[in-house]
Amino acid sequence: MTAPLAGIRVLEVGTMLAGPYATLMLADLGAEVIKIEPPAGDISRQVGDSYFASLNRSKRSVRLDLNDRAGQEALGALAAASDALLVNLKPSAIHRLGLTYDALRRWNERLVCVAITGFGLDAGDHPAFDYVIQAATGVAALTGDPAGPPTLPGYSAADNSTGLTAALGLLAQIVSGRGGQVEVSLRDVMLSQLNYHASAYLNAGAEPQRRPFGAHSYYVPAQLFPTADGYLALFITHDGFWKSFAGETGIEGFTTMTERSARRADVLDVVTTALAGDTAHSWEKRLRPLGVPAAAVRTLPDALKLAPDAVVTAGDYRLIGSPIRIGGYRPGYGPPPRLGEYSDSPAE
């Protein structure tokens, strides 16, 4: 099967994670991604080879100095022969380097320009790294035990989410058949992902609460629970799940979602007591056949052992493959590019 995005050429002026992750998703679906790097290369090359490979497989690299005339002319030539340009830099740098639709439309009226920033293309250069955004938008305040400090999830949730959103915006504008400017900010993406929390506050004044074991605001029981060995994630969202769970654990009562929500503390007490009678992995084996959403808390190495199909080879690297499965299509994962390896004839 022809790759879904075959024939689409995307230019990337991206650093570290959000931008490169967006174009990685597109490259996995068959888009030709040309990574435009400064003379010293994307700073993520300095983090480590495997880090760089995880975000830049299957791309081509062009080394351009966009601060000089020759670099700008080369950028224009590439833009003339491309469908989109995606950039994540400070807003001042995006404007100064001419990486907007207004600056590039003279080369290609149909070019889609996507700008990933912290707070907006015209909102200034406030520092906007992933963890800073999680703190600034209320995500960190919702995470962790109420008796302890706010915390972070341990991976780049804001950058990854923004990359996916930017890829969606880029494709939406290409499908429209029109060139133009698309903006995606880390702040807006993370506020959007707090959807039902924000709605509860904006419409009823209910402020989000940080709950023990990451408990859900509405569903009970839906959180982590200690067991005889390890922790179990349980996510019971309706009465059918509860009936199956209660039958396996011997718990009586609390048959409706309304009652379980109203008597949260009582429900959590009986569930915690019941789950203490077996291990997390044993509970998972007992509950899953019943259709009850439950999983033992695993480390990444343990999770990868159970998902060998998620691991692919790209050049010399073993990486996590595309999460998008399309019938009849299997991505071909190429190695990450050497710096400037495509610079000899970038506009071809």
**What pairs with residue 222 in β-bridges?**
235
How large is the greatest C-alpha to C-alpha distance in the chain, in angstroms?
75
Closest CA to 162 of 188, 141, 180: 188
**Catalytic residue among 42, 83, 130, 159, which?**
159
Taking the C-alpha atoms of residue 250 and residue 237, their distance in angstroms, rounded to an integer, is 19
Contact status, residue 37 vs residue 53, Cβ threshold 8 Å: no
Looking up tokens 């906007």, which residue turns up? 128
Cβ neighbours, 10 Å, residue 59:
24
Residue 340 Cα distances to 27, 32, 149, 345, angstroms: 18, 16, 45, 11
CA-wise closest residue to 294 among 278, 283, 302, 304:
283
- The verdict on whether 159 is a catalytic residue reads yes
294-296 sheet: strands from edge to edge = 222-226, 231-235, 294-296
Q: What residue type is assigned to position 28 of the chain?
A: D
- The amino acid that residue 205 corresponds to is G
Catalytic residue annotation: 159
